Structure 1
């Protein structure tokens, strides 16, 4: 798939409801926070960045990242809607996010957490250079880290 087809766009009053309605499979729902909750978190926490994931003219997903320090950013939310899964869009969206986050010269590390049973996420992040660090402090999610090459 052509990388130029996938873009990360601001969340606006014109697309936030559609982002909240993006569907997941029943099996995926317990592994991901809702987009509605994520948008609410971002509205009340300065620095949280939210993006609509668009492929061509279609809204296909959602992403949110949070600065942990000047050197580290954490992707807290990342989803591709069920009808658009399996087409390589997640990989292209992740590449776009890495480029955008890495544009800040101070950022050296990018981390992501995912449900330990989510094999699709595990494979996707590993393909992009994320290395598993073990379970998070709560022992619930797998933490993976990407060192940004400068």
Structure 2
């Protein structure tokens, strides 16, 4: 399996990251990367990365380095471009994100809000150890990973 990396988003690669897309069905569950990149410019506690494999940009991730609801750190976005899905990249990338977030954590929770109909994302986060917290935010359910385990 190819090695996944989290790569800084720069003036040289931002457009390529912004141009990535998920399937039409998945697009109702995640904001565009362009919107997320703009959001990060106005919310400096957000951390963004391109997800790369063999130096090719295949995805995007964004999380908050500041504590939020449920007294945890939230993963806002994770996406793999539709042409690179079903290869195990999302799971590898999520594990890298969790490892990085553990370094900043002053509290033991990492949280992701997942749309209740986004079964692929639910399965992904569960596979990495996240559990349904029972907390709902609109159409999303908070999935929590306790990092003290």
Q: TM-score, normalised by structure 2?
A: 0.92
RMSD: 1.6
Residues 101 and 107 in structure 1, CA contact (< 8 A), matched pair in contact too: no
Task: Give runs of aligned pairs for residues 32-47 of structure 1, distance below 5 A.
Answer: 32-47=30-45
Q: How far apart are 1:100 and its partner, in Å?
A: 0.7
Q: How far apart are 1:149 and its partner, in Å?
A: 2.1
Q: How far apart are 1:19 and its partner, in Å?
A: 0.7
Across the two proteins, how many residue pairs are aligned to each other? 147
- Deviations, residues 26-50 of structure 1 (Å, cap 9, x unaligned): 1111111111110111001121100
Q: How far apart are 1:113 and its partner, in Å?
A: 1.0
Segments of structure 2 that go 5 or more residues without pairing to the other structure are: none
Secondary structure of the residue that 1:90 maps to in structure 2?
helix
Match of 2:136 in 1: 136
Segments of structure 1 that go 5 or more residues without pairing to the other structure are: none
Q: How far apart are 1:25 and its partner, in Å?
A: 1.0
- Deviations, residues 46-94 of structure 1 (Å, cap 9, x unaligned): 2110011001121010000013428621000110000100000000000
- Find the aligned partners of 1:34 and 1:105 in 2 and give their Cα distance: 27
Secondary structure of the residue that 1:136 maps to in structure 2?
strand
